[in-house]
Amino acid sequence: MDLVIRNGTVVTAGGTYAADIGIAEGKIAQIGGTFDAGLPALDASGLYVMPGGVDVHTHLDAADAGVHSADDFRTGTIAAACGGTTTVVDFCAQAHGQSLSDAIAFWDSKAEGAAAVDYGYHIIVTDMNESVFEELAGLPERGITSFKLFMAYRGTNMIDDVTLLRALDQARRSDALVMVHAENGDAADYLRDRFAAEGKTTPYYHALSRPPRVEAEATARALALAEIVDTPIYIVHLTCGEALDELIRAKRRGVRAYAETCTQYLYLTREDLARPDFEGAKFVFTPPARTEADHQILWDALANRTLDAISSDHCSWSFKDHKSRGRDDFRKIPNGAPGVEERLMMIYQGVNEGRITLCDFVDLVATRPARLFGMFPRKGTISVGADADLVLWDPEAECVIAQRDMHNAMDYSSYEGRKVKGMPRSVLLRGKLIVEDRNYIGTPGEGTFLRRDRFAARNRD
Ligand code: DUC
Ligand code: ZN
Ligand code: ZN
Ligand code: ZN
């Protein structure tokens, strides 16, 4: 045994119990029982010992509309670690005309030597053609078992229905999981340009140009296409009751439909886009923030597992250098907001408020996403043989979220000024202490690439 975590309360998706945990060679080697008194130890008295967070939706070292994200793999994953997340699955974006192999090699060059936590990739396919279809079929062999397609952004990312259908059909054969950005891109573009023509150019019109039905229509269509070729599907960033209703209807028909929401859809509303002095631009992300009523609907859907995961969709477009490009025209504001570090602390407030249980929390931020994306039980749980990625969580610690305490390279937090109770005290990556009292003490580059299992290998039930 290399290290023992003593006196803590172990929390998994399945239950809570008092036990000491022994770690050997980066893995959990023993849970409960007795340990030699002389072994190196961490005292977890008064703390929860939970699996490290698994964030299956980040955009690190990303480019969009001529801007480059503030966070690269080093700062983005240090921020993740400091927030209690020990695994990220980042979106590796194919550039136009680029092969998927070249896109992956490029992402490797960003991540290798820089990542502070373990990482995998989903591929964002933007340029679908015959050779890309062939490459897609081979991705699971390389440990990349999911990819994302867009039903929005005509001219850059948007695919038509037949391409989505064909991609789903192929994913069924190669056991990959298709992730879909479900918004009717033409409807959103139409409303967006109509507002602009009317001189309605402030950030608030971003929200009004992408109303719930824009999302719900595409969600229903994506689910129907998945049903037609009998393929599992994962809806990213589901935000509202209208889209959720479509998900529920599809599930009732037997569609193997999975979905995440993101932290921002549980706490922010479209009124945040109307904040004065262009502050609303900070909250321009897609799909947009909705209403308090939607928050409640989403929390309920999380509690009953209609929704499977809560991701951050971390996008680091700085307010000063990136968001400001859209001062005169909301259409030029890069879409997205940060949150990889805040995610666990913010979602934990749902436990404090009685919206979800402690076990739900672990399930939604770690276990279920690890399962869906082929990393379980190595990641996302506490069991013998799993990687010793652990968070020692102090349920009593309180703080006010402030960007100055964050470890990313951003200039704002979407949750600035919010009081939270419950924070990570220590974080271990494969048995090594990398965060102590929210200070990063690891070595960037020690995060390793995760070859993920095929979808069906873990989800046959
Ligand atoms: N979709 C995402 O997942 N993130 C940022 C913007 C978008 O459209
Ligand atoms: Zn870069
Ligand atoms: Zn998206
Ligand atoms: Zn995203």
Per-residue pLDDT reduced to its tens digit, 337-352: 999 999 999 999 999 9
Residue 274 tokens read as 């109307």
Whether residue 458 has pLDDT greater than 80: no
Ligand 1: residue whose CA is nearest its atom 3:
313
| Separation in Å, CA 321 to CA 153, 317, 372, 412 | 23, 8, 36, 12
Distance from C-alpha of 62 to C-alpha of 92, rounded to nearest angstrom? 8
Q: Which of 56, 58, 59 to mutate to test the pocket of ligand 1 (most atoms within 8 A of CB)?
A: 59
- 194-213 per-residue burial string, b: 16 or more CB within 10 A, e: under 16: ebeeeeebbbbbbbebbbbe
Q: What percent of the chain has pLDDT over 90?
A: 98
| CATH class, 52-375 region | alpha beta
**Per-residue pLDDT at 459 exceeds 60:** no
Other beta carbons less than 10 A from residue 359's beta carbon: 16
- Residue 192 pLDDT exceeds 80: yes
Alpha carbon dihedral 100, 104, 110, 113, in 10-degree steps, equals -170
The mean of the pLDDT values for the chain is 97
d(CA 62, ligand 2 centre) in Å: 6
**Separation of CA 313 and ligand 4 centre (Å):** 4
The bound ligand whose nearest atom lies closest to the alpha carbon of 409 is: 2
Q: What is the C-alpha to C-alpha distance for residues 268 and 263, in angstroms, rounded to an integer?
A: 9
Q: How many CA atoms lie within 13 A of 325 on its CB side?
A: 16
Q: Which atom number of ligand 1 is nearest to the Cα of residue 236?
A: 3
Residue of 294, 236, 268 whose CA lies nearest to 414: 268
User: What pLDDT, in 10s, does the model give residues 401-454?
Assistant: 999 999 999 999 999 999 999 999 999 999 999 999 999 999 999 999 999 999
For residue 329, pLDDT beyond 70: yes
| pTM, two decimal places | 0.98
Ligand nearest to the CA of 182: 3
Question: How confident is residue 457, by pLDDT bands cut at 50, 70 and 90?
Answer: low
pLDDT tier at 455, thresholds 50, 70, 90: confident
Alpha carbon distance 351, 213 (integer Å): 30
Sheet holding 233-235, edge to edge: 309-311, 257-262, 233-235, 177-181, 146-150, 118-124, 85-93, 53-59, 314-315
Task: Name the residue among 388, 390, 386 with its Cα closest to residue 430.
Answer: 388
Q: Where are the domains of the chain?
A: 52-375
Q: How far is the CA of 159 from the centre of ligand 3 (A)?
A: 13
Which residue carries 């890309």 as its tokens? 132
Residue of 237, 260, 310, 414 to test ligand 1 pocket, by largest number of atoms within 8 Å of CB:
237
User: Does position 308 have pLDDT exceeding 80, yes or no?
Assistant: yes
Is the per-residue pLDDT at 295 higher than 70? yes
Confidence at 196, pLDDT banded by 50, 70, 90: very high
Whole-number Å distance between alpha carbons of 76 and 92: 14
pLDDT for res 142: 96
Question: What local confidence, expressed as pLDDT, does residue 461 receive?
Answer: 43
* pLDDT (average), residues 121-126: 97
- Inter-axis angle of helices 212-228 and 241-252, nearest 10: 20
Percent of the chain at pLDDT above 70?
A: 99
Query: 150 phi and psi, to 5 degrees?
Result: -110, 135
pLDDT tens for each residue of 84-118: 999 999 999 999 999 999 999 999 999 999 999 99
Residue with the nearest Cα to atom 1 of ligand 1?
A: 286
Q: Which is it for strands 314-315 and 53-59: parallel, antiparallel or unpaired?
A: parallel
Confidence of residue 76 (pLDDT cuts 50, 70, 90): very high
Band of residue 64 on the pLDDT scale cut at 50, 70, 90 = confident
For residues 413 and 380, what is the distance between their CA atoms, to the nearest angstrom?
A: 26
Taking only the tens place, the pLDDT of each residue in 216-252 is 999 999 999 999 999 999 999 999 999 999 999 999 9
Mean pLDDT of 26-44: 98
Q: How confident is the model at residue 355 (pLDDT cuts 50, 70, 90)?
A: very high
The closest residue, in CA terms, to atom 7 on ligand 1 is 286
What is the tens place of the pLDDT at every residue in 359-416?
Answer: 999 999 999 999 999 999 999 999 999 999 999 999 999 999 999 999 999 999 999 9
Q: What is the CB < 6 Å shell around ligand 1?
A: 181, 236-237, 286, 313, 315, 335-336
Residue 391 backbone zone (phi > 0: left; psi -120 to 50: alpha; other: beta): beta
Query: ipTM of the predicted structure?
Result: 0.94
Q: Is the pLDDT of residue 175 over 60?
A: yes
DSSP 8-state secondary structure symbol assigned to residue 450? P
The tokens for 137 are: 């079929």
DSSP H/E element including 298:
helix 292-303
How far, in Å, is the centroid of ligand 4 from the Cα of 314? 7
